[in-house]
A and B are shown apart, each in its own frame.
Chain A
């Protein structure tokens, strides 16, 4: 079964509104979670690393004021797309490492954001 759950799977919003996406680790604690963005027919691009109890680390070119990340507990990280615009429409996927040895990431189901 899934070990990382992401919600909502689909969201449609009007331009200018904010949207929150949740990512939960289901049966383990995740001090770190990764947020990826996937454009149509393209690969996954790391947006930011979410760290429990501290500020997120953003990749170059990602606006931290637009993509707010909060890692409030060891099982929950949220991504809020603020003042969304049509160009923010994308597939957002979160992931978390389970265990330190293998480097394997477990991925959420993804969230399809469409901004009208």
Chain B
């Protein structure tokens, strides 16, 4: 069965600092991996995804993530945090046969001025 573990329920960084949100997955099949962002009382917006091919994927708003099969990881990074990056971030892996996603518990990112 597929599962996702996000280390750290809350990460706080200063504006301009590196953002690193950790995600490890477990999957019995080659995974499709996703990072979504959620602002308060809103749905989820896709940041980036890995399906096949290049293991370093770039997404919106300057975020990127690297798929490391040997480490079963898909950590999300951004070189320089902006105040507008403050939100909840969810890592997800493709789940059941009908295409649903399995989500991690989420990491709340706070950005200090």
Contact = CB atoms under 8 A, between A and B. Distances in A.
Contacts, number: 64
B101 A105 contact: yes
Contacts of B51: 101-103
A104 B46 contact: yes
B100 to A, nearest CB: 5
Greatest chain B CB density within 10 A among A41, A91, A104 is at: A104
Interface in A41-78: 41-44, 46, 49, 51, 57
Contact of B34 (A4, A43, A104): A104
A93 B43 contact: yes
A107 B44 contact: yes
Interface string A4-44: 10100100000000000000000000001010000001111
A103 B69 CA distance: 19
B25 interface: no
Interface residues of B, number: 25
Contact of B43 (A6, A42, A104): A6
Question: What is the size category of the interface that chain A forms with chain B?
Answer: 20 to 34
A34 B101 CA distance: 9
Contact of A32 (B36, B43, B99, B106): B99
Given A100-B99, A104-B34, 10 more contacts: A42-B105, A43-B106, A91-B41, A103-B32, A103-B101, A106-B46, A107-B36, A107-B43, A109-B42, A112-B41
Interface of B: 32, 34, 36, 41-46, 49, 51, 90, 94-96, 98-106, 108
Interface of A: 4, 6, 9, 32, 34, 41-44, 46, 49, 51, 57, 91, 93, 95, 97, 100-110, 112
